[in-house]
Amino acid sequence: SIASADMDLNQLEAFLTAQTKKQGGITSDQAAVIAKFWKSHRIKIHESLINQSRWDNVLKNMNWRVDLKSQSRHIDQINTPVAIVEMELGKNEQ
């Protein structure tokens, strides 16, 4: 629950307090250990969850530009903007 909600310190404290008050919940010592662990490893856990939830392909690089037509058979097509987007996809973790 802590990791999936990506809880900040205030949310973590409230969650662990509720868990200690719940019948059959955790002890205050266990809550302190969980809080210390979460504070130390929150970023690593969050990145791991993101990597696990990604599909196979990820966006590796993206280039874009906007071109304007300077010549055309029809005058109304001159200065018409055209967006060109180049996206490089790759496998996750490669």
**Is residue 30 domain-shared with residue 65, that is, in the same domain?**
no
Q: Nearest Cα to 45, choosing from 56, 55, 34?
A: 34
Question: DSSP string spanning 15-40?
Answer: HHHHHHHSTT---HHHHHHHHHHHHH
* pLDDT tops 60 at residue 94: no
Statement to judge: residues 46 and 74 lie in one domain: no
| CB burial readout 22-48, b (16+ within 10 A) else e | eeeeeeeeebeebbeebeeebeeeeee
Q: Does one domain contain both 7 and 48?
A: yes
What's the Cα-to-Cα distance from 56 to each of 21, 53, 85, 91, rounded to whole Å? 42, 10, 21, 6
Residues 15 and 34 in one domain: yes
In a shared domain, residues 25 and 63 = no
Number of domains observed in the structure of the chain: 2
Q: Give tens-digit pLDDT for 62-74.
A: 999 998 877 777 7
List the domain range (segments joined by +) for residue 72: 57-91
User: pLDDT tens digit string along 1-58?
Assistant: 898 888 999 999 999 999 999 898 899 999 999 999 999 999 999 888 887 777 777 7
This prediction's pTM: 0.54
Do 63 and 48 sit in the same domain of this protein? no
